[in-house]
Structure 1
Amino acid sequence: MAEQKHYRLYGLFFFLVFEVVVFFLLQYLVSGMGMDNQYQAQNTIVPNWVKAVTFILLYIVCVLIAVVLVSNIVPSKHRGQLMGWVYLALAGMLVMLAVIF
């Protein structure tokens, strides 16, 4: 039982590292898109929409690549935890979208 708790802590650590690295990488990649000041008279939603959609698509690609790699590396007895981390990552994506704008 205590051994499984350690595996979950390792999973949480690697999940947080993955999320931070992907966030800063994607923030750098989409930094030139969109408008910083969204309250201008001439502002339209299109530049910020493109930034949001690009962020979402790139994030999902990163998560899919991570899932494929991790599912090949992790022993089969721990693969059941993988989908929980994926759902948590998708929920974290909403938080990242709020922070990036």
Structure 2
Amino acid sequence: MAEQKSNRLYGLFFFIVFEVLVFYLLSNLVSGMGIDNQYQAENTIVPNWVKAVTFILLYILCVLIAVVFVSNVVPSKHRGQLMSWVYLALAGMLVMLALIF
């Protein structure tokens, strides 16, 4: 039981590190896109839409690469936990998307 708790804590630590690194990497990559002042008369949604879609696609690509890497590295008895981390990452993507604007 204690081993399972420590494994979950290690997983949580690496998950948080992954999320923070991906957020800062992608926010730097898409920082030049979009319009900062959303309330201009001539503002259109297109530049911000491109920024959002680019962020989502790059984030999903990073998650897929991480899933493939982790599923090859971890022992088979821990692979069952992988999908719960993926679902948590997809929910975290919505929070990151709100923070990036």
- Which category of TM-score, normalised to the shorter sequence, fits these structures? over 0.9
Pairs aligned (count): 101
1:36 is displaced (CA, Å) by: 0.3
Give the corresponding residue for 1:32.
32
Give the corresponding residue for 2:74.
74
RMSD over aligned Cα, in angstroms?
0.2
Distance 1:23 1:88 in 2: 15
Residue 41 of structure 1 aligns with an amino acid whose one-letter code is A
Give the corresponding residue for 1:51.
51
Which stretches of structure 1, 4 residues or more, deviate above 4 A after TM superposition? none
Residue 7 of structure 2 aligns with an amino acid whose one-letter code is Y
Ranges in structure 2 where 5+ consecutive residues have no aligned partner? none
Ranges in structure 1 where 5+ consecutive residues have no aligned partner? none
1:55 is displaced (CA, Å) by: 0.1
Provide the identity percentage: 86
Give the TM-score taking structure 2 as reference length. Answer: 1.00
